[in-house]
Chains A and B, each alone.
Chain A
């Protein structure tokens, strides 16, 4: 949309859509991140198991590394929580009265649920064994 309307990235960032804009953007980016990861994983696993392909081996090592796992877990957890909030609000529109509170509730669940496994992923990555 922005590309065809001549809106620059800077102007887009200055658009003050607040919570809704952040949620919309993150939901799209994390959704694309999941599709990218799962697609890559399926293709790489196929070529790794069938042919032992060196490129597939490298891709597998890349997505099994802890920085990629941090990214994938962020995508999955954010997309799941935000999607649950959206779906519940769509199925029960009376919840729209509390939409701002629901966003804060979502972050209140996301933050510990992300940081705790992230701590173990980073610790396991930096200090293996």
Chain B
């Protein structure tokens, strides 16, 4: 039996976003796995509870582990590496998530004007998410 070629949307922009969704999804899995592993390396096994580990895994920010038994978050948990790391995560995750919302809503929108307005709103939300992320990461 021959294997059918997977269906791919035509058009370069849509195809780029199609590829981005898959690559950013896999990258986010690796990012989550790495921050989880580093949480164990820093001694989180005896200093963090389960929710603390999950908060750290999805957004490695010192505010996310502040209510824990960690004596000093500046020892590994809070530095420029994690700031860049979490900014990359937020930029990818918000683009991935908002593009997903766009794709779902465009399945239900028929009027071309509605699609244009939706895309502007989605893009504005993504820029807003980036601004909030920069503020949160630099202020913590």
Chain A positions within 8 Å of B, measured between CB atoms, are 1, 3-4, 28, 31-32, 34-35, 38, 42, 46, 69, 73, 76, 80, 83-84, 86-91, 93-94, 96-97, 117, 120-121
Contact = CB atoms under 8 A, between A and B. Distances in A.
Contact of B3 (A1, A69, A73, A94): A94
B22 A28 contact: no
B25 interface: yes
Contacts of B50: 117, 120-121
B6 A89 contact: yes
Interface of B: 1, 3-6, 22-23, 25-26, 28-29, 32, 50-51, 54, 58, 93, 97-98, 100-101, 104, 107-108, 110, 129, 132, 136
Contacts of A121: 50
Contacts of A28: 100, 104
Given A28-B104, A93-B3, A96-B4, A38 B25 contact: no
A69 B136 CA distance: 23
A49 to B, nearest CB: 9
A127 to B, nearest CB: 15
Contacts of A3: 108
30 contacts: A1-B108, A3-B108, A4-B108, A4-B110, A31-B97, A32-B104, A35-B98, A38-B97, A42-B132, A42-B136, A46-B132, A69-B51, A73-B54, A80-B25, A80-B32, A83-B25, A83-B29, A84-B26, A87-B25, A89-B6, A90-B22, A91-B22, A93-B5, A93-B6, A96-B3, A96-B6, A97-B3, A117-B50, A120-B50, A121-B50
B25 A84 contact: yes
